[in-house]
Structures are given as C-alpha cells and as structure tokens.
C-alpha cells in the first residue's frame, strides 16, 4: 500500500512512502487492509491540517509527517504485536523525555513494556502497580468517555488508549509528564485511529525466523528432509536385538539337611555375609544321643552273648553274635558322625541369598531339604534372553549393552561370553540364553535383578529393523 507523504507549505513534494502490511505470513485480510488504508489516509489529512494550522496550540510541536509514516511502516512490518508496541514506545521516547510504558492484554494486563526496563513480568512492582489500575481504573469527572481510540491528558500522565476493534483486547500507553513536554503530544489524537488499526493488524505471536524461512521454501525443505530420511534409512549400523536381562550368581551353593532332624537354632538370615566354615544353623541332637546310648548298651549285651557262645562251644551262635555286634558298631559310628554334624556350616565364602528359617525353628526337617542358598557376590553373571527369531543375528563375543531397572547410572557394555546351544522356555517365551560375567566389588548387583539389554549384530541398513518382517514375509510368499 503506497500513501503520498503530505508536504508542508512552501516545501517541495516529498516522495511517496510505501507501507507494507504483509510483513509476516499472518498479514491482515483484504477487507482489514482496506480499513487500515482508510485510517492512514485520514491520519495523513489530520496531520497535514495540524502542521499547516496558522494558530497552533501553545507548546504543540508536530513532528515531520515522514517520521510519523515511518512509524506506521515500522509497526506494520513488525512480526508481532509486542514488536509493534516496542516500535511505538521508541517513537514516543523521541518525542518526550518522560517515562513511557505500554500495557497489552484483555481482561487483565498480560504484557507491560517500559522504555527503560524492557518487558516486565508479574513479579515486578511496576507491573503490579499498573495491573491494579488496569483491572480497576480510577475515573475522574473530567475524564473523557473512552469508547474507541483516544489520547488525552490526565493530570501529569498522558494516556493513549488503543482498543481492539472487536473489543476483545486493550492496549494502553502511559507517558510521564514530569518534564513538561506533554502539551507537545496533543497531535497524537489525530493519528491514534491509524496507530490502533496498524497495531491490531499484527499477529499476536510471531514465528521464529528459521520457521518463516522454511515456510517460504516449502518445496526445498521437503526435498531436503526426504533426502535426509532416505540417507538415514540406508545408513549402515549394527543390527540391534532387544533382549531382557536377569542377574544370577556364578556358583551358588545350596545348603540342605544332612539327615532327618529337628531345627534347633538359626544363626543367619538373607543378606548376611559368611565365610567358609561359619555356622549357619544347628540341629537338635537329643534323639540321636538317646539312640546312640541304646545302641551302646545293646552292643555290650551282644558282646556278652558272643563270649558265652564261645565258652560253651556254640560256634553258630557265636558267629551270629559277632555279626550283630558289627552291625551295632556301624550304627553307633553313624550316630556319632551325625552328632558331629549338628552344626551346619557354610561351604564357601559369600552372602546368604535365601533361607529365612527363623519361623521353622522346632520343625522337623527331611533328608536333603534345601535350607539356605549361599553365593559369592564379588562376581555375577547376567543372563541375556535372546528371542528365538533373532538368534541368527547374534554370535558369541557380540557386543551387548545392559541397563538394569534397579540401579541407575551408566549402562553396562560387555561382550557375550557364551550362548547356550539349546533354547529354553522363560516367561512363556522360547529364548536362547547368553551369559556375561561382570565384576561386582561393591555388591551393587543382586541376584534376581531384571532389566533390558541390546545385543549388536552385523551391519545392516538403519531401517532394516522396521522393514525386516515385511521383507521376509514377501520373500516367503514369492517362494524364496
């Protein structure tokens, strides 16, 4: 839109000034642009009349019309309303030495700009001061009725009201007049409608510069994006096999009941550290002592019978008594051995992994019943469960990355030491189990911990993980 710049009396005609209202992709519609053009033409006529008036108001100084329309051009090219407000405030600062503040909002003030402090937030005392007057403005009898764009003097404050045409938004400018320059701003009344139209023609928010450039070059951007995606899709990377991981001990030992007995006392609980030979629990030996005493008494009786049979030359009875004595001797030795094993000890150094027997004290135990599990904790084994359909991409020695849910920090990277040759059913899935031995000096890893693992296979295109299923089904259907 081109508007001729008015000239003063006796001065040559100034060149036409072009004001563009399409500075951003969100420019005003054609009907709004026509209304803005009419407002600008009206402002031009009023400004020309004010500058050519033969009896100007005392103290009134009308700036050059080219500067005013340069303001219109700057505001119309602003990318957002907030940028247009900054342009308007900077222009007012050139006309007055007082403080200039501008509020922008609706039912409440959303943004406040100060020419010295910039944009102020709700935590600022200045923002709170003007927010209170914004919500409940004080009105005096000599105040004009503000039904549209207006500029008037209220005491030592010059106010400019720029309401949105549809009544949904407000913009108010306050100019401090302590320096006595407010009478020179009365000419603003003639251009306030044009400033209002230009201000509210700007979008409420602006797109970043890079987004605007991309929008102007849509086809090029799409082509570049498609090229990047295509390159990433065929870029060779190590094929990733997602797996589940579980922590297990390297050589755990189960401590079981050496013979049928009653549990008398327990000395450890899960989590305790034990050494080889430490007592884990005690068995009740009273029944064994009674049985051994009975066996010893019977052995003495059989020995006498053996001696009497030999004295009376009853050779057969003497042989039977000797066999009976040998049987009782072996039973006595067995009972003696069991009495020496009433204290069950740990076979290795490690940590008690399971076996809370406190509630079983006084209960009979069966022969071979598992009681306590002891395992070394300084070295652990992580079992990686590889899905059956991915085993063709995994080999022993392949690099793997592990992340356990129970511990944070950096993930564990280590190669697979071995892979079991046969599949197993775990969690209703047929998997192959790979093992990774890791050091555990701080006892951070505990048996039973679960997590996620990624095993890296051969080089394949980056998109192979997503298209592999479809490609293999297509090859199957064509008979490959």
* Average pLDDT score over residue span 124-147: 68
pLDDT of 1 > 70? The answer is no
- pLDDT at position 44 is 63
**Res. 58 pLDDT band, cuts 50 70 90:** very low
Q: Do 2-209 and 376-461 share a fold?
A: no
**Res. 52 pLDDT band, cuts 50 70 90:** low
pLDDT of 243 > 90? The answer is yes
As assigned by CATH, the class of the 376-461 domain is mainly beta
pLDDT of 245 > 90? The answer is yes
CA neighbours within 13 Å on the CB side: how many for 29?
1
- pLDDT at position 6 is 44
Read off the pLDDT of residues 103-118 as tens digits, 9 standing for 90 and up: 998 888 888 999 888 9
**Res. 447 pLDDT band, cuts 50 70 90:** confident
pLDDT of 88 > 80? The answer is yes
Q: Quick check: 344 and 259 in contact, CB under 8 A? A: no
pLDDT of 89 > 50? The answer is yes
Tell me the percentage of the chain whose pLDDT exceeds 90.
20
Q: Quick check: 187 and 62 in contact, CB under 8 A? A: yes
pLDDT of 10 > 50? The answer is no
Which of these, 454, 358, 439, lies nearest to 401 by C-alpha position?
454
Instruction: Compute the distance between CA of residue 303 and CA of residue 142 in angstroms, rounded to an integer.
Output: 137
pLDDT of 434 > 90? The answer is yes
pTM of the predicted model as reported, rounded to 2 decimal places: 0.46
- Among 185-189, 375-379, 432-436, the minimum mean pLDDT is found in 185-189
Q: Quick check: 280 and 345 in contact, CB under 8 A? A: yes
**Res. 442 pLDDT band, cuts 50 70 90:** confident
- pLDDT at position 400 is 94
- pLDDT at position 466 is 81
Read off the pLDDT of residues 15-27 as tens digits, 9 standing for 90 and up: 444 444 444 444 5
Instruction: Compute the distance between CA of residue 85 and CA of residue 111 in angstroms, rounded to an integer.
Output: 10
- pLDDT at position 47 is 61
Q: Quick check: 278 and 346 in contact, CB under 8 A? A: yes
pLDDT of 475 > 90? The answer is no
Q: How many residues comprise the chain? A: 480
Instruction: Compute the distance between CA of residue 274 and CA of residue 347 in angstroms, rounded to an integer.
Output: 10
Instruction: Find the helix or strand (DSSP H, E) in which 418 lies.
Output: strand 418-419
Among 120-134, 196-210, 425-439, name the most confident range. 425-439
Q: Quick check: 144 and 189 in contact, CB under 8 A? A: no
Tokens for 91, please give them.
Answer: 């222009």
pLDDT of 102 > 90? The answer is yes
Q: Quick check: 431 and 385 in contact, CB under 8 A? A: yes
- Among 7-16, 209-218, 242-251, the minimum mean pLDDT is found in 7-16
- pLDDT at position 57 is 47
Question: Domain spans of the chain?
Answer: 2-209, 253-373, 376-461
For 132-212, strand residue ranges (E) read 150-154, 157-161, 170-176
Cβ atoms within 10 Å of 25's Cβ, excluding its own:
13
- pLDDT at position 4 is 46
- pLDDT at position 14 is 41
* Average pLDDT score over residue span 262-280: 89
Query: What is the pLDDT of the chain when averaged over all its residues?
Result: 81
pLDDT of 8 > 50? The answer is no
CATH of segment(s) 253-373: 2.40.50.100
- Among 213-217, 248-252, 361-365, the minimum mean pLDDT is found in 213-217
Read off the pLDDT of residues 290-343 as tens digits, 9 standing for 90 and up: 999 999 999 899 889 888 888 888 888 889 988 998 999 999 999 999 899 899
Fold (CATH) for 2-209: Beta-Lactamase (3.30.450)
């Amino acid at each position: 839109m081109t508007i001729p710049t008015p000239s003063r009396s006796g001065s040559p005609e100034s060149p036409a000034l072009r004001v563009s209202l399409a500075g951003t992709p969100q420019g005003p519609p054609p009907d709004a642009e026509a209304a803005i053009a009419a407002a600008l033409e009206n402002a031009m006529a009023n400004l020309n009349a004010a500058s050519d008036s033969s009896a100007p108001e005392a103290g009134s100084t009308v700036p050059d019309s080219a500067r005013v329309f340069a303001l219109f051009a700057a505001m119309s090219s602003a990318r957002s309303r907030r940028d247009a407000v900054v342009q308007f405030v900077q222009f007012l600062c050139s006309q007055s030495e007082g403080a200039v503040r501008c509020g922008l909002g609706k039912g409440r003030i959303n943004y406040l700009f100060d020419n010295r402090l910039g944009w102020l937030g709700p935590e600022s005392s200045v923002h709170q001061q003007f927010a209170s007057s914004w919500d409940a403005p004080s009105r005096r009898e000599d105040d004009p009725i503000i039904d549209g764009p207006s500029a008037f003097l209220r005491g030592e404050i010059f106010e400019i009201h720029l309401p949105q045409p549809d009544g949904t938004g407000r913009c108010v400018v306050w100019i401090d007049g302590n320096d006595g320059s407010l009478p020179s701003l009365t000419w603003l009344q003639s251009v306030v409608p044009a400033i209002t139209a230009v201000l509210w023609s700007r979008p409420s928010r602006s797109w970043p510069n890079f987004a605007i450039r991309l929008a102007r070059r849509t086809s090029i951007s799409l082509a570049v994006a498609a090229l990047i995606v295509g390159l990433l899709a065929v870029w060779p990377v190590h094929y990733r096999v997602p797996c589940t991981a579980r922590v297990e001990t390297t050589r755990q030992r189960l401590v079981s009941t050496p013979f049928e007995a009653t549990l008398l006392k327990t000395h450890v609980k899960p989590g305790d550290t034990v050494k080889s030979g430490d007592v884990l629990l005690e068995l009740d030996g009273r029944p064994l002592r009674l049985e051994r005493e009975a066996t010893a008494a019977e052995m003495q009786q059989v020995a006498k019978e053996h001696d009497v049979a030999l004295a009376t030359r009853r050779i057969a009875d003497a042989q039977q008594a000797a066999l009976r004595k040998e049987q009782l001797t072996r039973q006595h030795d067995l009972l003696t051995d069991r009495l020496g094993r009433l204290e069950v000890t740990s076979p290795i150094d490690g940590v008690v992994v399971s076996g809370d027997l406190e509630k079983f004290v006084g209960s009979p135990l069966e022969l071979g019943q598992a009681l306590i599990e002891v395992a070394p904790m300084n070295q652990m084994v992580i079992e990686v469960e590889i899905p059956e359909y991915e085993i063709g991409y995994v080999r022993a020695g392949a690099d793997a990355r592990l992340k356990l849910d129970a511990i944070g920090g950096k993930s564990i990277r280590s190669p697979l030491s071995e892979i079991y040759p046969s599949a197993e059913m775990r969690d209703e899935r047929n998997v192959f189990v790979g093992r990774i031995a890791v050091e555990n000096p701080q006892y951070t890893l505990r048996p039973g911990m679960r997590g996620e693992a990624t095993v890296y296979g051969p080089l394949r295109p980056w998109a192979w993980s997503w298209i592999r299923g479809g490609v293999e089904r297509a090859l199957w259907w064509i008979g490959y």
